[in-house]
Amino acid sequence: MNTRNLGLSVLLLSLLSGCMMMGQPRNLAFRHNPVTADPNAAGSARVTTMTDGMVQTTLVLTGLTPNKAYIAHYHAFGPASNTDPCASNGPVSVGFPSFTSDASGNGTTTLMTEAAKIAGDAGAYINVHYADAPAVVPICAPVKTTKG
Ligand SMILES: [Cu+2]
């Protein structure tokens, strides 16, 4: 290998390592909230910790209303429950990019955020809202089930 190729290899390696995964992704299941909206909505959140202090979270959802705009957030543990984050009514920590379901009711969105923003109680649950009516929250994925 000549010097030029070696330099290129080192550059590529450092670029790759800048977005390397750390350990296995964690898969979280969404569950339905006690509401009538989107009765078949379900899905998972795939949470991958990277080596550079970032966390990538990809939501893969089914059973949504076709061709509808949605928003999703990480929320902090709220005051309304110590053991059920989805019922704790906590504040938003970080928002996912908004997304629109396809004609079959499938939807996906990916967030890359600093790990510190969703550490501990700051990242207690992920919920999915109707974009045009945020009070409607069909599904929620608990991340941390005990406060503190
Ligand atoms: Cu939310």
Q: Check which CATH number belongs to the domain holding 89 and give it.
A: 2.60.40.200
Note the pLDDT tens digit of each residue in 12-44: 555 555 567 777 899 999 999 999 999 999 999
Note the pLDDT tens digit of each residue in 124-138: 999 999 999 999 999
- Output the pLDDT for position 47: 97
Q: What's the longest Cα–Cα distance across the chain?
A: 65
Note the pLDDT tens digit of each residue in 60-104: 999 999 999 999 999 999 999 999 999 999 999 999 999 999 999
4 in any annotated domain: no
Kindly state the average pLDDT of the residues 136-146.
97
Distance 23 CA to ligand 1 centre (A): 27
Q: Is residue 125 within 8 Å of 142, Cβ to Cβ?
A: yes
Distance 29 CA to ligand 1 centre (A): 16
Distance 9 CA to ligand 1 centre (A): 43
2 in any annotated domain: no
Phi first, then psi: what are they for 116, rounded to 5°? Answer: -60, -30
44 in any annotated domain: yes
Is the pLDDT reported for residue 8 higher than 80? no
Range of the domain at 98: 21-142
49 in any annotated domain: yes
Distance 24 CA to ligand 1 centre (A): 26
Could you give the number of structural domains in the chain?
1
3-state SS of 3-53?
A: HHHHHHHHHHHHHHHCCCECCCCEEEECEECCCCCCCCCEEEEEEEEECCC
- Output the pLDDT for position 99: 98
CB count within 10 Å of CB 109 equals: 19
